[in-house]
A = this chain, B = another copy of it.
Amino acid sequence: MSQLRSTLEFLVYDWLQAENLTSRDRYADHSRETFDAVMDTCERIAREKYAPFNRTVDTQEPTFDGEKVSQPQCTHDARKAFADSGMLSAAQPYEKGGMQLPYVVEAAANSFFGCASISIGSNLLTVGNANLLRVHGTPMQQQVFADNEFNGRWAGTMALSEPQAGSSLSDILTRAEPDGADFDSDALGARYRLKGNKMWISSGDHELTENIVHLVLAKIPGPDGKLIAGVKGISLFIVPKKLVDTDGNLTGERNDVALAGLNHKLGWRGTTNTLLNFGEGKYPVRGGAGAIGYLVGKPHEGLKCMFHMMNEARIGIGMAATMLGLAGYYASLEYAKNRPQGRPTTEGGKDAASAQVAIIEHTDVKRMLLAQKAYCEGALALNMYCARLVDEGRTGAAEEAVRSKLLLEVLTPIAKSWPSENCLEANSLAIQIHGGYGYTRDFPVEQYWRDNRLNMIHEGTHGIQAADLLGRKVRMQDGAGLQLLAQTMQATIKKAAARPELAQYAHDLNQALQDVSAATQAAWLTGNPQEALANAVPYMQAFGHTVLAWVWLDVACKVLEQDASQALAANAGRINAISYFYRYELPKITAWLNVVNARDMTCAQMPVEAF
């Protein structure tokens, strides 16, 4: 069994008790065997159709000849294998052709793809798009658009950013105006004409599927013809690349969505990233000006609808960062076991005449491996925990469902940001272990590092996540989310305190939790957001390390419950990883929280001309 598989099984089955979900109606037909079968399939497809081509998609970037995008054959093959596996509709109900799979199992199974080649596929975007329509679309929109995304015929995108408005969605300029007098009576939804440019659209154009379903944010002008300022004016539209009828057949009409250009990226090159022009007139359609789009939900509630997709996407990014981190860990572990170099340090120094050892015998190499393990397996545990919360929110008993949703809200910025930062650092350590070889393109680790650098940027930058955490998540409902997280951590602390091997860590976590709580108070003491949020990123870093310390401690409780002697090497490794995390990492929070507590304004007050 692969190391990733066994780690996932420990986390999902042993730690998170995923089999218990089969006692719920929705998952009643499932069992450990059906879960394992899905994992088997995904692991096989990832091994056969993804991993061998990870470098191919890096070196053979997508190209655009003015009409069509070209990508290597392996990208088409990987897309087909994924769609054929049924994973696009894994979570959908049986009557929709789905598997009714719990999200935690779906996420675990999908992780094989992320580890094998993060950028060759962008299927999670399609699933997220269709899931959004499942919640906010009309029955007809669901049938025509969502169903054809889930069944693999079409792909989906989310089109939010514009060249002049990246993180600042209130400034988007794309306009949507009613398309004729009968605009409100189209069976596919109120019909509008859209004009504007969308930037950073992943999979915004390609030839992998028959059609592409864009979910586009745009503003409907007010009676005065002006766009409403701020996010309140934003509405959401389905804008298909090619127009379709109510049976989901292509009508043969190309919609006026034109690829203006491909972005040439540092990494993540298997996925196109695009600038799209909507309604610029390259493909005039049905005698009018503008791209045809169908309203989703109510006017001016577009951002609320889109957030449904963004939260899912943020957890997906956390998983992507984690899998790139683990891919680098496995690669550098393999290298370190097989590369002879140097001799062990002994009390008498080094004996030049003795045989060389594998570099994994050197303490500093072990340190770099253990750091990667602690970061990446910890991040995986956190993300699996969040996935489990999604299931609880969907199928748990009423009160538990509410609690799970609240806890997930608080944890989402950490699930996205923490792996993006720390698993990137893990990839850097993987390069370092390889020495000069790691700096060459003959080994995979430099690509993991490049690919991973995207994750602190897309789906809300690090700064946006931090502002969300400290500005909103820990304060919402009078701090109920933070309180719930604290209670949940306390339960772990109590369990761990009873175990002599973990008592010190339980004590440390309790202290860290108090420190984070105190810093939250201190940040908001003056009630001035300028002061409170001046150090939102250091706050998030400390918060994240504390969350990870908690996750590791909870994992360690399970390890000792299973195997107190740690006779199993994997369990001994987990106990070492938690030791590493508590001794080398958790103490870092003091430095981060110092500036939060002081509401340090050094950065805020730096005059622009003094840089």
Contact = CB atoms under 8 A, between A and B. Distances in A.
Interface of A: 161, 164-168, 170-171, 199-200, 229-232, 263-267, 333, 337, 340-343, 345-347, 349, 352-353, 356, 360-367, 369-370, 373, 428, 431-432, 435-436, 438-442, 446, 449-450, 453-454, 456-458, 461-463, 466-467, 528-530, 533-538, 569-570, 572-573, 576, 579-580, 583-585, 587-588, 590-591, 594-595, 598, 600, 602-611
A566 B284 CA distance: 61
A440 B266 contact: yes
B345 A463 contact: no
A610 B573 contact: yes
30 contacts: A166-B436, A167-B342, A168-B356, A171-B341, A266-B441, A266-B450, A345-B530, A360-B608, A360-B611, A361-B608, A364-B466, A364-B536, A364-B603, A369-B611, A370-B606, A432-B457, A432-B462, A435-B457, A439-B457, A446-B453, A449-B453, A570-B610, A572-B610, A573-B606, A573-B611, A576-B605, A576-B606, A583-B594, A583-B595, A587-B590
A355 to B, nearest CB: 10
A362 to B, nearest CB: 8
Given A166-B341, A171-B356, A584-B595, 11 more contacts: A167-B341, A168-B342, A171-B342, A229-B352, A364-B467, A449-B453, A450-B450, A570-B610, A572-B610, A579-B602, A587-B591
Contacts of A462: 432
Contacts of A341: 164-168, 171
Contacts of A265: 439-441
Contacts of A569: 607, 609-610
A352 B168 CA distance: 10
Contacts of A267: 439
Contacts of A352: 170, 229-232
Contact of A529 (B230, B349, B441, B573): B349
A534 B363 contact: yes
A171 B357 CA distance: 12
A583 B360 CA distance: 37
A441 B576 CA distance: 40
A583 B607 contact: no
Contacts of A535: 367
A232 B264 CA distance: 51
A170 B607 CA distance: 53
A584 B591 contact: yes
B603 A370 contact: yes
A577 B580 CA distance: 32
A604 B363 contact: yes
A456 B436 CA distance: 10
Contacts of A572: 607, 610
Contacts of A356: 168, 171
Nearest to A371: B603
Contact of A530 (B363, B438, B570, B594): B363
Contacts of A594: 583, 587
Nearest to A610: B573
Contact of A230 (B199, B264, B353, B428): B353
B611 A333 contact: yes
Contacts of A161: 436
Contacts of A167: 341-342, 435
Contact of A436 (B457, B573, B607): B457
Contacts of A366: 603-604, 606
Nearest to A340: B164
Contacts of A347: 528-530
A232 to B, nearest CB: 8
A349 B466 CA distance: 16
A607 to B, nearest CB: 6
A428 B587 CA distance: 24
Nearest to A447: B266
Contacts of A463: 362, 364-365, 432
Nearest to A437: B166
A449 B166 CA distance: 22
A461 B608 CA distance: 37
Nearest to A591: B587
Nearest to A574: B610
A534 B590 CA distance: 23
A572 B609 CA distance: 9
Contacts of A450: 266, 450
Contacts of A457: 431-432, 435-436, 438-439
Contacts of A610: 569-570, 572-573, 576
A577 to B, nearest CB: 9
Contacts of A598: 583
Identify the 8 closest CB pairs spanning chains A and B, nearest first: A230-B352, A573-B610, A587-B591, A367-B603, A266-B446, A364-B463, A363-B604, A168-B342
A295 to B, nearest CB: 22
Nearest to A366: B603
B264 A440 contact: yes
